[in-house]
Chain A
Amino acid sequence: KAGVTQTPRYLIKTRGQQVTLSCSPISGHRSVSWYQQTPGQGLQFLFEYFSETQRNKGNFPGRFSGRQFSNSRSEMNVSTLELGDSALYLCASSFRTGTNEKLFFGSGTQLSVL
């Protein structure tokens, strides 16, 4: 099975611009979560989508949004970029079996905002 695929791998933007990141989950996984990783704050949860519906949302401003398509692929969008948005954005897919639900992470998109 192919793993979680994230594109692009690297992105450089300037303040005020917007960006869209893409994530293709493992085949058969219907849940996709997004995390922001920074050296200071660690891994912070952005949101989770399941069957095209946002199931959970972290404590991020409305500039951060996402969506999921019928094939489970997901995108996240950040509008009006700020310098502090520079981070590694990780997407993770998962499949629940009973009480077990481990996350499979993609390689991430490294976003630099100048």
Chain B
Amino acid sequence: GQQVMQIPQYQHVQEGEDFTTYCNSSTTLSNIQWYKQRPGGHPVFLIQLVKSGEVKKQKRLTFQFGEAKKNSSLHITATQTTDVGTYFCAGPGQGGSEKLVFGKGTKLTVNP
């Protein structure tokens, strides 16, 4: 079945350093979404990318969707302690079998 892989699984950075998480799908995606889950919280929608090669920015966060629409990345510039959490990518399920298929996430910790 469809798989969405995310790397790295964990990332620890010093405050002020940059951070990137990568997402790869086994199939071409019509769109990709990113969610953030704070410790003890629930996933919160960040953004959706639809177009091939699309790049979107939200303040210090930059999201990219690959040209082949099979991979995506999230880059955070100059991390802050408020960026702590787990970042998930998710793509639509194939054949209507699943709502969204989530990657296992990248857990980001930031040392102040």
Contacts and interface: CB of A to CB of B under 8 A. Distances in A.
Contacts of A65: none
B50 interface: yes
Contacts of A103: 33, 35, 43, 45, 99-100
B88 interface: yes
B89 to A, nearest CB: 11
Interface residues of B, number: 24
B44 interface: yes
Nearest to B97: A56
A8 interface: no
Contacts of A45: 93, 98-101
A100 B47 CA distance: 10
Q: Is the interface of A mostly helix, strand, loop or mixed?
A: strand
Contacts of B43: 43, 90, 92, 103, 105
Q: Size class of A's contact patch?
A: 20 to 34
Interface string A85-98: 00000101010000
Most chain A C-beta atoms within 10 Å of own C-beta, residue among B30, B33, B97, B99: B99
Contacts of B41: 107
